[in-house]
Amino acid sequence: GWIEGLTIASIILGVLLGGQLVGPNISHWLLSVDVPLLDTGIDTAAEAAIATLIAVYLAAAWFNTRIPHTGVEMRAMPGNPLALLPDFWSCNNRLWRDKLGQISLATTTLFWGAGGNLKFIVLAWAAAALSYNTTQA
């Protein structure tokens, strides 16, 4: 539940953060940050946004190192990725045969499919109907 919830939160917050980082208010502030004795070479809003996202990813990587070990032994992955297909097919079939698995897979598929499409539809609608740019949308 935590993984699913945090994934959804990161997608929603990522869209909001990304739009704001390239917007005039925050990008102006990011570009005004000066590091003494270091020329970062960051001169545009996109470069400042990317540098900020690198810092966010580094923080996320550090948090991932703090995840406790569960004691479950890791299985070695096969060298050939195609060798994973039979196991995937078997697990997928088992989930679709299970009543709770069916509900989980169907709602997840619908959620991500609808959410992915709605994001682009809302952005296009905001541009066409409201004359918003990406940051405003």
Tens of pLDDT, residue by residue over 11-55, are: 888 888 888 888 888 888 888 887 788 788 888 888 888 889 999
Report the alpha-carbon distance of residue 100 to residue 104 in Å, rounded: 6
Domain positions in the chain are 1-68, 86-137
Q: Do residues 95 and 101 touch, judged by C-beta distance below 8 A?
A: yes
DSSP state of 76: P
pTM for this one? 0.56
**Residue 117 predicted with pLDDT over 80:** yes
Structure tokens at 43: 């001169």
Tens of pLDDT, residue by residue over 55-98, are: 999 999 999 999 888 888 888 888 888 999 999 999 999 999 99
Look at residue 97 in the predicted model and tell me its pLDDT: 94
Residue type, 115: G
Q: Average of pLDDT values for 106-119? A: 83
